[in-house]
Structure 1
Amino acid sequence: MGTPLGDFIRAKRDNTRPEDLGLPAHERRRAPGLRRTELAARARISVEYLTRIEQGRDRNPSDPVVNALADALSLDAAERAHLRYLSKISGGACAGHVRPAPPDRTVRPATRQILELLEPGVAFVTNRLGDVLAHTDSFALVMSDTGLLDAEQPNVTRYVFTHPRAGATFIDWHQVADEQVFSLWLGPSTESFEWFTADFAPVAGAEFTRRLHRHLPPPRVPLTMNHPRADRLRWNRETLELPAPDAQQLVIWLPADEATAAAVDQLRHRPQRTALRAV
Structure 2
Amino acid sequence: MSGNELGLFLRTRREAIAPAEVGLPVGPRRRLAGLRRSEVAALAGVSVEYVTRLEQGRDRRPSPPVLAALGDALRLTPPERAHLYRLSKGADTGFTCRGQDSRAREVRPTIQALLQTLEPSLAVLVDHVGEVLACTPQYRTVAGATGLLDGSPPNLVRFVFTDSRARTAYPDWDQVADDQVATLKQGPFRADPDIAALVDELTITAGDIFTRRLATVPGLAPATGVLRLWHPEARELRLAYETLELPADDGQRLLVHLPADLATSAALYRLTTPPPGAPHPYAVFGPVRTDPPDPDQRRPGLRLV
Question: Is the pair's TM-score, using the shorter chain for normalization, greater than 0.5?
Answer: yes
* CA deviation profile, 1:26-50 (whole Å, cap 9, x unmatched): 2535654322222112211112222
Change in Cα spacing, 1:270 to 1:228, as seen in structure 2 (3 Å) is farther
Retained in 2: the 8 A contact 1:2–1:55? no
Query: For the structure 1 residues 92 and 188, does the alpha-carbon distance in structure 2 shift closer, same or farther, using more than 3 Å as the test?
Result: closer
Q: Give the alignment of 1:146-225 within 5 angstroms.
A: 146-186=146-186, 190-191=191-192, 192-212=194-214, 213-215=216-218, 217-218=220-221, 220-225=224-229
Letter of the structure 2 residue corresponding to residue 120 of structure 1: P
TM-score, length basis structure 2: 0.78
* Closer, same or farther: CA 74–51 of 1 in aligned 2, 3 Å: same
Q: Which residue of 2 aligns with 1:229?
A: 233
Question: For residues 216 and 26 of structure 1, what CA distance do their matches in structure 2 show?
Answer: 32
Query: Residue 61 of structure 1: CA displacement?
Result: 0.6
Residue pair 1:120, 1:136 contacting (<8 A) in 2 also: yes
> Structure 1 residues 4 and 246 mapped into 2: Cα distance closer, same or farther (>3 Å)?
same
Over 3 Å counting, the alpha-carbon distance change for 1:130 and 1:216 in structure 2 is closer
Instruction: Point out which structure has higher relative CO (alpha carbons under 8 A, 6+ apart).
Output: 1
Alignment of 1:75-114 (within 5 A): 75-89=76-90, 91-93=91-93, 95=94, 100=100, 103-114=103-114
CA distance in 2, matches of 1:230, 1:65: 51
Gaps of 5+ in 2: 276-305
Could you tell me which residue of structure 2 aligns to residue 277 of structure 1?
none
Q: How much is the aligned-residue C-alpha RMSD, in angstroms?
A: 2.7
* Shift of residue 160, structure 1, vs aligned partner: 1.2
Which has the larger helix fraction?
A: 1
Which 4+ runs in 1 deviate beyond 4 A?
A: 29-32, 99-102, 216-219
Worse-matched range after superposition: 28-37 or 127-136:
28-37
Q: Which runs of 5+ in 1 are unaligned?
A: 272-279
Aligned-residue sequence identity (percent) comes to 46
Aligned to 2:246: 242
2:256 corresponds to which residue? 252
Separation in 2 of the partners of 1:33 and 1:244?
34
The count of residues paired between Structure 1 and Structure 2 equals 268
Q: Deviations over 1:29-79 (max 9, x none)?
A: 565432222211221111222222111121211000011111111222332
CA deviations 1:154-193 (Å, max 9, x no partner) are: 1111111221111111122223222212211236863143
